[in-house]
């Protein structure tokens, strides 16, 4: 795995974010306008992971009083299962653990088993089935939640490195 860096996304990152989004989610991909909305919204954040200054992944989340809701995340398809997603979400969980927020939630399509396994690997637990929460998608979703612990950044990096050879990372 090459050297990774993480930071806030900017509009100049959008072409690569949109490429990853479209390759990952096809007909249900977010639009440029939806990503711009997240960048502008003070209650949300869009972070990118870069390898050699090129966007290879992103995570969008919404702040709540006591936690955050992961609303979208993906890694470039050709770079999956190399620990990038584990590193990205481990950093997110670590930063949440240093704040007053005590939970992280997300929802995943019921048929998206690989993401479900990935979240379980990172310590998320399935809470409930949500019946057809997205009008455009005729499918149930599973709600996942975790309680971030104050994991040192070096532990997050080790977990991500280990994930590079793990089939669910």
How many independent structural domains does the chain possess?
1
Quick: pLDDT tens for 88-109.
Answer: 888 888 877 778 888 899 999 8
Give the global pTM: 0.82
Residue 66 CB burial class (10 angstroms; 0-12, 13-18, ≥19) = exposed
Quick: pLDDT tens for 56-93.
Answer: 999 999 999 889 999 999 999 999 988 899 888 888 88
Residue 124 lies in a domain: yes
Residue 117 lies in a domain: yes
Positive or negative, the CA dihedral 67, 136, 110, 47 is negative
The boundaries of the domain holding residue 53 are 4-163
Instruction: State the CATH number of the domain containing residue 42.
Output: 3.40.630.30
Quick: pLDDT tens for 5-50.
Answer: 899 999 999 999 999 999 998 888 999 999 999 999 999 999 999 9
Band of pLDDT at residue 154, cut at 50, 70 and 90: low
Residue 169 lies in a domain: no
């Amino acid at each position: 795995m090459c050297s990774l860096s993480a930071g806030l996304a900017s509009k100049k990152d959008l072409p690569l974010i949109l490429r990853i989004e479209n390759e990952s989610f096809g007909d249900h991909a977010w639009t440029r306008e939806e990503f711009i909305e997240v960048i502008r919204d003070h209650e949300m954040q869009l972070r990118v992971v870069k390898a050699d200054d090129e966007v290879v992944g992103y995570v969008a989340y919404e702040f709540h009083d006591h936690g955050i809701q992961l609303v979208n995340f993906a890694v470039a398809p050709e770079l999956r299962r190399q620990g990038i997603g584990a590193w990205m979400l481990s950093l997110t969980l670590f930063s949440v653990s240093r704040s007053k927020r005590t939970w992280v939630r997300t929802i995943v399509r019921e048929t998206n088993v690989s993401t479900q396994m990935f979240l379980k690997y990172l310590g998320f637990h399935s809470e409930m089935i949500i019946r057809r929460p997205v009008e455009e998608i005729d499918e149930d979703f599973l709600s996942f939640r975790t309680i971030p612990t104050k994991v040192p950044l070096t532990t997050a990096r080790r977990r991500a490195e280990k994930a590079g050879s793990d089939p669910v990372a």
